[in-house]
Amino acid sequence: MNPEHPLALAIAQAATLGEGIQWHAPSGRWWWTDIEGACLYAWTPGASVTLQVRLPERVGCFVHGRSGALLLGMAKRLARLTLPDLQATGSVAGEPVEIAPVEAALVTTRVNDGRCDRAGNFVFGTLDEARPRQAIGGFYQYSPAHGLRRLALDGVAIANSICFSPDGRRMHYCDTLTRRIMVCDYDAASAGVSEPRVFVKKEIDNCWPDGAVIDAKGCLWNAEWGNASVARYATDGRLLARYSAPVSNVSCPALGGPAGDQLLVTTARQELSTAELMAMPLSGSLFGMAIEPGLYLPEPLFNDA
How do residues 217-262 score in pLDDT, each as one tens digit?
Answer: 999 999 999 999 999 999 999 999 999 999 999 999 999 999 999 9
Does residue 295 lie in a domain region? no
Domain count, the chain: 1
* Collapsed DSSP state (helix, strand, coil) of residue 109: strand
Does residue 296 lie in a domain region? no
Does residue 298 lie in a domain region? no
Give the pLDDT confidence score for residue 305 in this predicted structure.
79
Domain that holds residue 282: 4-290
Does residue 66 lie in a domain region? yes
148-159 average pLDDT score? 98
Residue 19 and residue 211: Cα distance in Å, rounded?
A: 8
Q: Is 181 left (phi over 0), alpha (psi -120 to 50) or beta?
A: beta
pLDDT grade, residue 41 (50/70/90)? very high
Bridge partners for 15 per DSSP: none
Residue 42 and residue 30: Cα distance in Å, rounded?
A: 5
- Is residue 2 scored above 80 in pLDDT? no
Give the pLDDT confidence score for residue 4 in this predicted structure.
82
What DSSP assignment string belongs to 141-159?
Answer: EEETTTEEEE-S---BSBE
- Is residue 1 scored above 60 in pLDDT? no
Q: To 10 degrees, the CA torsion angle through 200, 204, 209, 213? A: -60
Dihedral (CA of 240, 242, 243, 249) sign: positive
Tell me if 232 sits within 8 A of 210, measured CB to CB: no
pLDDT digits (tens, 9 = 90+) for 43-56: 999 999 999 999 99
Tell me if 252 sits within 8 A of 18, measured CB to CB: yes
Percent of residues, the chain, with pLDDT higher than 90: 98
Task: State how beta strands 8-11 and 286-290 pair.
Answer: antiparallel
Q: What are phi and psi of 171, to 5 degrees?
A: -115, 130
- Is residue 284 scored above 80 in pLDDT? yes
Does residue 302 lie in a domain region? no
Does residue 305 lie in a domain region? no
Tell me if 305 sits within 8 A of 52, measured CB to CB: no
Does residue 281 lie in a domain region? yes
Does residue 304 lie in a domain region? no
> Mean pLDDT, the chain, as a whole number?
97
Please state the length of the chain. 305
Give the pLDDT confidence score for residue 3 in this predicted structure.
73
118-147 average pLDDT score? 98
255-273 average pLDDT score? 98
CATH of the domain at 35: 2.120.10.30
125-131 average pLDDT score? 98
Give the pLDDT confidence score for residue 45 in this predicted structure.
96
Residue 18 and residue 269: Cα distance in Å, rounded?
A: 8
Give the pLDDT confidence score for residue 77 in this predicted structure.
98
- Is residue 172 scored above 90 in pLDDT? yes
Give the pLDDT confidence score for residue 171 in this predicted structure.
98
Burial level of 106, CB count in 10 A (0-12/13-18/19+)? middle
57-65 average pLDDT score? 98
Residue 172 and residue 150: Cα distance in Å, rounded?
A: 16
Q: Return the amino acid letter for 61.
A: C
Distances (CA, A) of 115 to 72, 215, 230, 266: 10, 14, 18, 16
| pTM score of the predicted model | 0.97
Give the pLDDT confidence score for residue 281 in this predicted structure.
98
- Is residue 195 scored above 60 in pLDDT? yes
